[in-house]
A = this chain, B = another copy of it.
Amino acid sequence: MGSERKDVTERKFAAEEGSLRIHQAIARQLGTAILMGVHKPGDLFEGEIEASERLHVSRTAYREAVRILIAKGMLESRPKAGTRVLPRSRWNVLDPEMLAWMFAGEPDRDFIRDLFELRGVIEPAAAEFAARRRTDDQLAVMTRALEDMEKCGLSTPEGRAADQRFHHAILAATHNDALAALASSVGAAVSWTTTFKHRKKLLPRDPLPDHKAVYHAIAARDTAAARSTMVELLRLALADMDIALSEPLRD
Could you tell me which A residues sit within 8 Å of B by CB distance? 23, 60, 63-64, 67-68, 70-73, 88-89, 91-97, 110-111, 114-115, 117-118, 120-122, 125-126, 129, 132-133, 172, 176-182, 185, 250-251
Contact = CB atoms under 8 A, between A and B. Distances in A.
Contacts of A73: 96
Nearest to A171: B89
Given A64-B63, A115-B178, A176-B114, A71 B97 contact: yes
A251 B91 contact: no
A93 B92 CA distance: 12
A249 B181 CA distance: 21
Interface of A is mostly: helix
B67 A177 contact: no
Given A63-B64, A68-B67, A125-B121, A93 B178 contact: yes
Nearest to A168: B89
A176 B108 CA distance: 13
Given A64-B67, A67-B67, A177 B121 contact: no
Given A67-B68, A68-B67, A97-B71, A177 B117 contact: no
B177 A185 contact: no
A85 to B, nearest CB: 15
A117 B179 contact: yes
A68 B92 CA distance: 14
Contacts of A251: 132-133
Contact of A67 (B71, B118, B133, B179): B71
A114 B172 contact: no
